[in-house]
Amino acid sequence: MKKYRLYKRLLKNSLSYIEKKYPKISKFLRYHSVLEDLSNNIDCRIETKNIDWIRGPYLKYFQILNQTNMRSEIIDENITSYTLKTEDYIVHGNIKHPVRKTTGKVLRFYPSGDLTLTDAYPLPFYRKKFVEGTIIFIPNNENYYHLMIDYLLPSFLEIISNKDEHSYVTFLVQKRFSLIDIFQDLLIREKIQSTQIKVNSSDQFTGGKLLLRGSMATHPQIQSVFPSELNKLISCLQLNDNKKQYDRIYISRKNANRRRLLNESDLIHVLDKYQISVVELNSDDPWAQLTLFYNASLIISVHGASLTNIIWSRKTKVIEIFPRNLTPIQYLNFSAQLGHGYSCFFGTTGNSKENFELDIDKFEKYLVHELNV
């Protein structure tokens, strides 16, 4: 594995050198590796607003979790939302981002940084195919957080907020995800037809109107979940609003590859005292996840992609657990936007896989305080 990474790095450096030294040659190797400046395009709508949701009790936790690069003026920063609707695009099956037909430049909002080999290098030949309707392109992305927040949710909310412009939706996917089934079901409820097409590596798609939507701030972990649109959607979901709506849940990561709580069994004994249910999420049943978070009044979890589901919660309390050496702020950011309660607790320093332990006695005292019992 180390040798593979070394060879890949050497190859990338060599190609970067060729690109700078011999631009005509590099044009054949990497003809669409340059990012489009979306702010200069008439088909891209840009909206900027202040990150005012960080004020109040949330600011304390931003400072706790982000001490190394926390800036006092973060509450005065802006977040920029982009909505691109264009027929001037091509989707290559082996590349993770669409490109402009006219310029060959990559249409991408995130993540920031240089394009990788798989982002930028085309095959010599493709099978040309055409699609119809509003096009949502979903790359081969294994991370639930990025799949939801970078690709599915923003575009979906745009579609249902402007239904007259989107009578038919085509999901172009490099890999099939059961999560997309939820969004297709929701579109049916909104009387919008859709289809899902698997993109093979040698396919080249165009047609219809590509929709890309997202948001960015100076801080890389701050993105908008478009709360006003999201709240309207949640109110229309007609989820099971039953006796379990005040459930207290703990999300277990015992079968995760990394960031596991090594003394979780001791923690579970404590959670039982306070009627907190232990659950493991099933990625094959996204509707169950959505319903679970919708009805939860308390969500406790080690930091992980499953916390993305707090976007579906009506009003909840989030307790996020971290190893000492890991302090991302994505879910604090979502909680602040959506008005959820939020607090955090630190365990020991994580190992190479970010696995760690909790001081159970200290956590129980902390939990009692948070629950006001």
Query: pLDDT per position in the chain (373 positions), as tens?
Result: 555 567 667 766 776 676 667 666 655 555 456 778 887 778 899 999 998 898 888 988 988 887 655 555 566 788 999 999 999 999 999 888 898 888 888 888 765 555 655 566 677 789 999 999 999 999 988 788 999 999 999 999 999 999 999 999 999 999 988 889 989 999 998 899 999 999 998 999 999 999 999 998 888 889 999 999 999 888 877 666 555 555 899 999 988 888 999 999 999 999 999 999 999 887 667 788 888 999 999 999 999 999 999 999 988 999 999 999 988 999 999 999 999 999 999 999 999 999 999 999 999 999 999 988 5
Give dist(CA 223, CA 159) in Å, integer.
Answer: 19
Give dist(CA 54, CA 82) in Å, integer.
Answer: 21
Of 267, 275, 272, give the one whose Cα is nearest residue 248: 275
Query: What one-character-per-residue DSSP string does 278-314 give?
Result: EE---TT-HHHHHHHHHTEEEEEEESSGGGGGGGG-S
pTM of full prediction above 0.85: yes
Check residue 109 and give its pLDDT: 76
From residue 111, alpha-carbon distances to 4, 25, 119 in Å are 23, 27, 11
Location of structure tokens 């080999």: 117
Helix (H, G, I), strand (E, B) or coil at 173: strand
Location of structure tokens 């006695």: 361
- Tokens found for residue 243: 């006796």
- Tokens found for residue 44: 């891209």
Give dist(CA 282, CA 288) in Å, integer.
Answer: 8
Helix (H) or strand (E) holding 249: strand 247-251
Domain at 239-371, CATH from 3.30.2310, 3.40.50, 2.40.160, 3.30.450: 3.40.50
358-361 long-range contacts, CB within 8 A, separation 24+ = 358/261, 358/263, 358/266, 358/267, 358/321, 360/263, 360/266, 360/267, 360/270
Check residue 31 and give its pLDDT: 47
Domain-wise residue ranges, the chain: 32-52+80-234, 239-371
Check residue 14 and give its pLDDT: 73
Location of structure tokens 């989707």: 91
Contact 46, 39 (CB under 8 A): yes
Pairing state between β 78-86 and 168-173: unpaired
Helix (H) or strand (E) holding 16: helix 2-21
